[in-house]
Structure 1
Amino acid sequence: MASQKDIDRQIRAYYGGPDWDEGARLTSRSAQGSLEFVRTQELIAERIRAGSQIADIGGATGVHAAALADAGHEVTLLDPVSEQVEQARAYGTFEALVGDARGLPLEDRSVDVALLLGPLYHLSEREDRLRALREAIRVVRPGGWVFAAAIPRLARLAALSGGAGMPRGWEDLIEHGTSPAGGRFPGGHFHTGAELAAELNESGLLQVEVVGVEGPAGLAFEQLTEIDPELYSAALTVARAVAGQRGVQDLSNHLLAAGRRP
């Protein structure tokens, strides 16, 4: 297993290099990215109030932040990769800062909502994940929401095997969520829905709920670059219908947990 220092270096190389476009991943690279974006925005909008102050922690190039700003929210994006922050600043509709989820440059109780849509699956140690969650809680006002995304173990296993047999280290991946060696993606940890809920509860959040974002169709949608409207509508319907079902949620490409600060 790679050390967190190694993963941190890989994150900056992976996301800061010329071969990765996070904006395209969520919009045009595959039908899965569009499904992830739409469902994530829906799940956030269902819970937060109009005109919220939002910290988008690990917000990458600002695709989610821009949509939330367009919806009337006041957004501050933070990301550890300076190249991504520069791209995010180009929107001009929200503030974008370089920052690490484990030590946020924000005041206590300064926002209504904190989003952790990327950091948790890049942190290999549970204590680091809890530290990031507690930092998010620190900056959120009482009664405010914290949202945290994770990649399920089964989704990562499917991506690694690619139909060509089990990857090395798959036992540790399934049993412990440990990222196998090899591959470019700087994964730190892969969750189950129950494990993600437990981490949010331990961090001190209340009313914790975990849902699958894309639903079972997400893995197939990774292979589709063209979005058929009828098929897309069906996938959205299924994703909404089974989002909270235990076990089924782990068949999604991403999990999204929500909890409230006491």
Structure 2
Amino acid sequence: MTETTRAQDPAVREEILSYYARGEEDARLRQGGAGRLEFWRTQDVLRRILPAAPARVLDVGGGSGVHAEWLARDGYEVELVDPVPLHVEQAAQLPGVTARSGDARSLPVADADHDAVLLLGPLYHLPERAERVRALVEAHRAVRPGGPVVAATINRFAGLHDLLHQELYFDPAQRARTDEEGDHGRHGPEGGLFTTAYFAQPTEVPGEFTDAGLVPEGQYGLEGVAWLMGGLDAWLDDPDRREAVLAATRRIESEPTLIGTSGHVLTVGRRRS
């Protein structure tokens, strides 16, 4: 499927657009304890996976450019595509970053035009498997042969873990909703804590890569169990302890019995050469 023969652009759900129009995602990754850990661990993994700069990186659903910014500083040529107008406006102001509006399921880019494609958020918000595969098919189309595609997913029981950590799981309504989500992975906007999303079992994601024509290579749990620890903010503020936390999570990042403890997982695949 070429750029000129793409199907009609799909619509992003209004509640998702409204949620991200608040402009809170950038601060979540730069300031919050668990968010900072997710941010630094994403950097850690990507710097080991991506081809050397100056490669062309397509950051799909890249938000305000929180990752595009450091990628550009590292010497990459970064193009960001996002459906939220505020995000496009913010990212376009970053040096070395080109930003435009677009949807992961219908990318406004030419075939095989990028050395790597990142989907560090879009799969969260596609509850239907066919839509997630469609986004991965588009990533497959956009990346050059042999290039990596890296996609983030939220783990199936991340909501349960997070609500326990925040002591919200003891509320009967929150508990019932969270327990139901554990059965099917679908999260609704009710309760105001998040928006429409899909929480994936790590084991199901490689199959979606395969169905999109990508060859799965590996998975990386980002936060381990550290994101649930009460002292995380203080640990990350201390340079020595921060390095210890990052080393500990790196040590278990691909351990199959522990991947599901992370809030987020990166799955890596490649387009066949």
Q: TM-score, normalised by structure 2?
A: 0.87
Tell whether the 8 Å contact from 2:15 to 2:189 is kept in structure 1 after alignment. no
Distance, in Å, in 2 between the alignment partners of 1:72 and 1:87 is 20
Tell whether the 8 Å contact from 2:112 to 2:143 is kept in structure 1 after alignment. yes
Aligned-pair CA distance for 1:229 = 2.8
Residue aligned with 2:115, SS:
strand
Aligned to 2:71: 68
- 83-92 or 111-120: bigger deviation: 83-92
Question: 197, 206, 215: which is aligned to 2:206?
Answer: 197
- Seen in structure 2, the aligned counterparts of structure 1 residues 25 and 138 have a Cα distance that, compared at 3 Å, is same
Structure 2 gaps, min length 5: 1-9
Tell whether the 8 Å contact from 1:150 to 1:255 is kept in structure 2 after alignment. yes
Question: 232, 245, 248: which is aligned to 1:235?
Answer: 245
Structure 1 vs Structure 2 CA RMSD: 2.1
Aligned to 2:5: none
- Seen in structure 2, the aligned counterparts of structure 1 residues 223 and 181 have a Cα distance that, compared at 3 Å, is farther
Tell whether the 8 Å contact from 1:31 to 1:227 is kept in structure 2 after alignment. no
Residue aligned with 2:14, SS:
helix
Which letter maps to 1:179?
H
Which letter maps to 1:118?
G
Tell whether the 8 Å contact from 2:188 to 2:197 is kept in structure 1 after alignment. no
Distance, in Å, in 2 between the alignment partners of 1:170 and 1:22 is 22
What percent identity do the matched residue pairs reach?
39
Residue aligned with 1:65, SS:
helix
- Seen in structure 2, the aligned counterparts of structure 1 residues 221 and 86 have a Cα distance that, compared at 3 Å, is farther
Tell whether the 8 Å contact from 1:201 to 1:208 is kept in structure 2 after alignment. no
- Seen in structure 2, the aligned counterparts of structure 1 residues 32 and 170 have a Cα distance that, compared at 3 Å, is closer
Question: 77, 81, 86: which is aligned to 1:78?
Answer: 81
Distance, in Å, in 2 between the alignment partners of 1:217 and 1:92 is 33
Asked if 1:9 corresponds to 2:11, the answer is no
Deviations 1:84-137 (A, max 9, x none): 110111113210001100100000110010000000011110000000010011
Residue aligned with 2:17, SS:
helix
Q: TM-score, normalised by structure 1?
A: 0.90
Which letter maps to 2:159?
R
Question: 181, 191, 197: which is aligned to 1:183?
Answer: 191
Question: 108, 123, 127: which is aligned to 2:126?
Answer: 123
Distance, in Å, in 1 between the alignment partners of 2:157 and 2:48 is 27
Structure 1 gaps, min length 5: none
Distance, in Å, in 2 between the alignment partners of 1:234 and 1:102 is 39
Aligned to 2:44: 42
Deviations 1:195-240 (A, max 9, x none): 1222112222114311101211023379737723343222211110
Distance, in Å, in 2 between the alignment partners of 1:210 and 1:170 is 25
Question: 166, 169, 175: which is aligned to 2:177?
Answer: 169
Distance, in Å, in 1 between the alignment partners of 2:163 and 2:131 is 25
Aligned-pair CA distance for 1:170 = 3.4
Deviations 1:235-258 (A, max 9, x none): 211110000011311111210000
Aligned-pair CA distance for 1:65 = 0.4
Deviations 1:39-60 (A, max 9, x none): 1112112122221101000000
Distance, in Å, in 2 between the alignment partners of 1:153 and 1:221 is 22
Tell whether the 8 Å contact from 1:169 to 1:180 is kept in structure 2 after alignment. no
Tell whether the 8 Å contact from 1:78 to 1:99 is kept in structure 2 after alignment. yes
Distance, in Å, in 2 between the alignment partners of 1:127 and 1:70 is 35
